[in-house]
Homo-oligomer: A and B are copies of this chain.
Amino acid sequence: MTPAPALKEQSQDFHALMRELGMRARAAAGPLSRATTAAKNRALELAAAKVLENAPAILRANALDLAEARGAALSAAMTDRLMLDQKRIDAIAKGLREVAALPDPVGKVMAEWTRPNGMRIQRVCVPLGVVGVIYESRPNVTADAAALCLKAGNPVILRGGSESLHSSTALYECLRAAPREAGLPDGAIQLVPTRDRAAVGEMLTMVEFIDVVVPRGGRSLVDRVQRESRVPVFAHLEGICHTYVHAGADIDMARKVTLNAKMRRTGICGATETLLVDRAVAKTHLPPILDDLAKAGCELRGDGATQAMDKRVVPATEQDWRTEYLDAILSVRVVDGLDQAIEHVNTYGSHHTDCIVTKDAAAAERFLTEVDSAIVLHNASTQFADGGEFGMGAEIGISTGRLHARGPVGVEQLTTYKYVVRGSGQLRP
């Protein structure tokens, strides 16, 4: 194997470069799948220590990215995502240690039974394989994604955003040696050492080397990955999340849950984008909810009935029901009841996260059952759509796909299983 530093030389032969990363990851998969929990945790602790130790170098690298971002006139939001300071570096190190503290899923017996012929069958949790992570401006994904993959026993190939390559590389330098120092294989954590987007195209077709791809970033990145990838993908294209205020909703709870679901942070995938309110309570419940939102700086786009409630509401178009604003904008519709609300969510939503606010338990159960989303909530903010908030530890993303992982993708979702059968000479009749 070529030593890792040689990879840093920019190469135009992305196919050969990426295949080399792939082969190295595949070679690491077997040994890493059998690594002890202690060794994996030691690697994560070492990485955390190195990140803290090398904070000045990481900040210098980040300053280079930020300078280039100013030259490229990056948006304020993107620049904020790119920016690192000591607090954010501390958070990265803390994140690595939190993953070390998570239970190790590998080797867990998920089910076991004995057959009438005496064969004992176990379904045992094993690592998923090689994970490819394609992300954009946030350099912290370098450490977060690597940590989760390592804990689950999976080699990872990281492909950071071109705008954060200096920062990602500096972070990667802290992570890279940690597996080896803990006795784990080289190739456990690798970073694609080029800004060229052709490297992404290679990753998406490396079915023999990569078992699953996780895109972390905006709609255009996820859309490209979902369209082009020959490798299975864990992702959500968008989070068009709904809060539905049912006729049986407590007005105070409806106000608080809606305001939190929309305005706590508007840029996350679990932020509510559409509010549905039952016609039966629109006159009482909708005006104070709209007033809360308008006062918090939220633009309101509504149907006719909503516009009639508040002069600040501008008309919503058909496109609004299909839009993930990721901003202080909310579409609002008055619906005729539970059936119409469920139909609206299933038609216009993105099967991500949707909430009903009501005191009516039967209505809640119907919503929870009939809304076909990864996460359905009763009387709680859609902003809870997060692996950490679910108590799963960190997450590598949220999936709206139906296969393998649905909802937050944590360390457990980065595993698969095998059947282990123990017999005493059984023959099939």
Contact = CB atoms under 8 A, between A and B. Distances in A.
B30 A426 contact: no
A346 B256 CA distance: 56
Nearest to A126: B372
A129 B408 CA distance: 20
Given A30-B370, A30-B372, A406-B416, A377 B427 contact: no
A418 B376 contact: yes
Given A211-B403, A374-B418, A380 B423 contact: yes
A93 to B, nearest CB: 22
Interface stretch (A64-72, A182-190, A194-202, A384-392): A384-392
Interface stretch (A81-89, A113-121, A167-175, A292-300): A113-121
A260 B256 CA distance: 67
Given A406-B417, A407-B418, A381 B428 contact: yes
Interface string A394-429: 000000001110111000000011111111111110
A43 interface: no
A427 to B, nearest CB: 4
A30 B369 CA distance: 10
A400 to B, nearest CB: 11
A34 B369 contact: yes
Interface in A355-388: 364, 368-370, 372-381, 383-384
Contacts of A250: 425
B428 A379 contact: no
A159 to B, nearest CB: 20
Contact of A426 (B370, B372, B379): B379
A232 interface: yes
A253 interface: yes
A277 interface: no
Nearest to A382: B428
Contacts of A408: 419
B376 A421 contact: yes
A30 B380 contact: no
Contacts of A378: 420-423
Nearest to A390: B121
Contacts of A368: 420, 422
B121 A421 contact: no
Contacts of A364: 422
Nearest to A260: B427
Contact of A428 (B253, B370, B383, B407): B383
B373 A427 contact: no
A117 to B, nearest CB: 9
A147 interface: no
A113 B404 CA distance: 21
A264 interface: yes
A257 interface: yes
A76 B380 CA distance: 63
A257 B376 CA distance: 50
Interface in A211-266: 211-212, 232, 250, 253, 256-257, 260, 264
Given A375-B419, A403-B404, 12 more contacts: A30-B372, A128-B402, A211-B402, A256-B427, A368-B420, A372-B418, A374-B418, A379-B422, A379-B424, A381-B428, A402-B416, A404-B404
Interface of A: 30, 33-34, 113, 115, 119, 121, 126, 128-129, 211-212, 232, 250, 253, 256-257, 260, 264, 346, 364, 368-370, 372-381, 383-384, 389-391, 402-404, 406-408, 416-428
10 contacts: A30-B372, A34-B369, A115-B389, A378-B421, A379-B423, A380-B421, A380-B424, A380-B426, A383-B428, A384-B428
